[in-house]
Amino acid sequence: MLLPWRLGPDPLTSADPLKRLPPDTLAERLTPFLATTGIGTASGPPLARVAGLLRDRAPTLLDMAEAARYFYQAPPIDRAMLTGQVNAGNRPALVELLGQFAHVEWMREAIGAAIKSTAARHGLKPAQLMMPLRALVAGTLGTPAIDAVLELVGRESTRARMTAGLSDDLTASAL
């Protein structure tokens, strides 16, 4: 969107300038938007890493702040979404993955390998675990690469969110 008093796109409504900013600068600019949405970043991953991961997905700083929420706060359990994502075909693999996440090296590559190998052992495609993981951990199906998201969310938060979602009575009874 071109504004009459500017010669270029508005940086708050256009994603192009956001994509060009270094992650540290983007994190600085994102901070006030996080504050206005009530998101504290003191007990989560480095904001520059989150901003770097989200910059291709969020068209504005306000959208990016909302998208960053699940990195710092556990999302509420969306029973309808979980019922649509966790089923008898993938639940055993998700439970196995939950156990593996206690011991796997907490790096994106190792997390991705664990997801893929667990899917293969259960005769599933990786996406059949990745989408339910997004629902369980982020509370949304629209995230960047799930292995990168899980790395930043952290082992303990990932496992706690998976445990909460997999032990939910509605999810278990839908099977």
pLDDT of residue 4: 41
Q: May I ask the CATH class of domain 15-72?
A: mainly alpha
pLDDT of residue 19: 85
The overall longest dimension of the chain from CA atoms, in Å, is 59
pLDDT of residue 52: 95
Stretch 13-36: mean pLDDT:
86
Distances (CA, A) of 166 to 1, 171, 172: 43, 7, 7
| pTM of the predicted model as reported, rounded to 2 decimal places | 0.86
Domain boundaries, the chain: 15-72, 79-173
Instruction: Give the number of residues written for the chain.
Output: 175
pLDDT of residue 18: 82
Does CATH place domain 79-173 in 1.10.10.350? yes
- Which of these, 51, 61, 73, lies nearest to 148 by C-alpha position? 51
Q: Is the pLDDT of residue 94 over 80?
A: yes
Q: What is the mean pLDDT of the chain?
A: 89
Q: What angle do CA 52, 100, 169 make, to 5 degrees?
A: 90
Q: Is the pLDDT of residue 84 over 70?
A: yes
The pLDDT tens digits for 38-72 are 999 988 999 999 999 999 888 899 999 999 999 99
Distances (CA, A) of 109 to 21, 102, 113, 149, 158: 25, 16, 6, 12, 16
Residues of the chain with pLDDT > 70, as a percent, come to: 86
Task: Say how far apart CA 94 and CA 164 lie, in whole Å.
Answer: 12
Task: Say how far apart CA 161 and CA 90 lie, in whole Å.
Answer: 17
pLDDT of residue 20: 86
